[in-house]
Structure 1
Amino acid sequence: MLGIICLIFALNAYTISASFIKPCKPEDSACIISSASLAIPFFAKGEPQMGIQPMDPLKLELIKSDQGGLKIIFKDSTLTGLKDCSVENIKYDTSKMKQHVALKCNLVLTGDYNIDGQLLILTAQGNGKYKINIQDMLIKAVIDISTVNGKDGKPHWHISKWSYTFEVLTGTTFNFENLFNGNKALAQPVLDFVNTSWKDVMQEIAPPIVDAIVAKVVHGVESLYKSVPIDQLQA
């Protein structure tokens, strides 16, 4: 999901060489939104020669959470859906060197899980395959940019810090196989609960997932910024 967020911030850098994208001025949000919408599928494929790995599917090797009496580990996970995210808003504040973006995405996360502890009001324990289907996740992010000298002697952007918020607007469905070692009498109430109370469950388990996704994308964008000087980032 959120994987594409920061990558979109680098949109104007690639529009220089992508003929199907119109370069935009920093203050022209309408142009940037239109260009970003066209560019998302292209960027989701990745650009390995610039250090940008494929974003859809996005591989997440390990996601861990241990808080509030609940331990969760997601391993060898695959996220799909980033290439179809819609751009709700993008703004550049050149005076404060901040970039703001809002995306809405439908995402599917699959892989292996291990869960043990108190999931809200119920005890949950098990390990096996999992699938999380997220409908209409709205992600709002702010990126702080600084300027550094690149190896080419030109000024380059550098991501100094980033933050985000997220909200699921429509719904989320969960499937955890082999809960309680396959005991359906114990597993079914947990599955019913997490799917009925999906909003509360997402607040409990989603933050480390979103953190992992955003961190992956920030790394890719930072690689792009190292490759492309500022004088090619803006129209």
Structure 2
Amino acid sequence: MSRIIFIVVFCTVLAVQAEFPDDPKPCKYGDSGCIVKMINYLIREKAMQGDHEFNLVKLDPLPVAKMNIKQGAESPVNIDLTFKDNQLLGISKMKFRKIKGFGKDIAGGHEILFNAGKLSLVGPYNIKGKVLILPISGTGKSNMTLVNCDVVLSFTGKPFEKNGETYMEASNLKIITKPERMYYYFTNLFNGDKALGDNMNAFLNDNWEAIFQEVKQSMESAFADIFQTIITGVFSKYPYAKFFEE
């Protein structure tokens, strides 16, 4: 995460005086259809390599320095799961469907609805705790994949002044996810015991929905931190008014 923030801040410092690019053209305030088309264009055309004109870091794959999913003892899924130096794959295939907000009032609420056909977090993990009735432990490589996941992303715009202009920061960002299916795969569970590891992976996938409901809040909070950094980086590139036309 710190790596992403550094890139965003560095690009912002270099480009404070930059002009808004000609392509794509700015949308009118609150024009949901136009804004949806713009975001889909940027994700489709720019996510794989990034775009300095919009402070858009390379999004697919997106490096995730650290993510933690931790549930307390009161939960049936009582785990401490940490991912380090992972990659998030699939952002370039997201389909944005509806936008609310993005009017002249920066401080108003903003909402983005989209679908992620396949979103995978891949890389090293460490886990310990209990899943439903079974103990779990391990350190190795993992793949956690959400399939056909509808997402509602909402945040409050926070205006701030820079060089006499008004910019927007995304604050209080929240994500609600509704996947059609979720898959888990962890290597080297139980110190490499293949039989125990295979059985646990099968158990996790057979009970994916019950497990997801228990870790949903922690997972959504972790993803919200990532997307808040991306959105704030984009809107820190130009004054808010530059993104729109009357």
Q: TM-score, normalised by structure 2?
A: 0.79
Matched, 1:200 2:217: no
**How far apart in 2 are the matches of 1:109 and 1:64?**
12
| Alignment-derived partner of residue 29 in structure 1 | 32
| Alignment-derived partner of residue 131 in structure 2 | 119
**How far apart in 2 are the matches of 1:167 and 1:160?**
22
| Alignment-derived partner of residue 192 in structure 2 | 182
The residue type paired with residue 90 of structure 1 is: I
1:27–1:91 CA contact under 8 A, matched in 2 = yes
1:201, distance to aligned residue in structure 2 (A): 2.1
1:15–1:22 CA contact under 8 A, matched in 2 = no
1:16, distance to aligned residue in structure 2 (A): 4.6
2:124–2:141 CA contact under 8 A, matched in 1 = yes
Percentage of pairs with the same residue: 25
| Alignment-derived partner of residue 66 in structure 1 | 70
| Alignment-derived partner of residue 12 in structure 2 | none
The residue type paired with residue 130 of structure 2 is: Q
Of the candidates 68, 81, 89, which is equivalent to residue 80 of structure 1?
89
**How far apart in 2 are the matches of 1:51 and 1:28?**
22
TM-align CA RMSD: 2.6
Of structures 1 and 2, the one scoring higher in RCO (CA 8 A, sep 6+) is: 1
Look up the SS of the partner of 1:221 in the other structure.
helix
Matched, 1:233 2:238: no
**How far apart in 1 are the matches of 2:41 and 2:102?**
22
| 1:128/1:206 CA distance change after superposition, 3 Å | farther
| 1:171/1:99 CA distance change after superposition, 3 Å | same
| Alignment-derived partner of residue 55 in structure 1 | 59
**How far apart in 1 are the matches of 2:81 and 2:223?**
16
1:209, distance to aligned residue in structure 2 (A): 4.2
- 1:123-156 residue CA offsets vs partner (Å, 9 max, x unmatched): 11111111122211111011111322212x1222
Aligned residues: 220
Q: Which moved more, 1:196-205 or 1:104-113?
A: 196-205
1:179–1:187 CA contact under 8 A, matched in 2 = yes
Look up the SS of the partner of 1:227 in the other structure.
coil
1:15–1:23 CA contact under 8 A, matched in 2 = no
Q: Which moved more, 1:197-206 or 1:142-151?
A: 197-206
Runs of 4+ aligned residues of structure 1 deviating over 6 Å after TM superposition are none
Look up the SS of the partner of 2:26 in the other structure.
coil
1:115, distance to aligned residue in structure 2 (A): 1.2
**How far apart in 2 are the matches of 1:49 and 1:181?**
47
The residue type paired with residue 172 of structure 1 is: M
Of the candidates 92, 106, 109, which is equivalent to residue 98 of structure 1?
109
**How far apart in 1 are the matches of 2:236 and 2:142?**
37
Q: Pairwise mapping of residues 137-176 of structure 1 onto structure 2 (< 5 A)?
A: 137-151=149-163, 153-168=164-179, 170-176=180-186
1:118, distance to aligned residue in structure 2 (A): 0.7
| 1:195/1:18 CA distance change after superposition, 3 Å | farther
| Alignment-derived partner of residue 144 in structure 2 | 132
1:38, distance to aligned residue in structure 2 (A): 1.8
Q: TM-score, normalised by structure 1?
A: 0.82
1:104, distance to aligned residue in structure 2 (A): 0.8
1:149–1:155 CA contact under 8 A, matched in 2 = yes
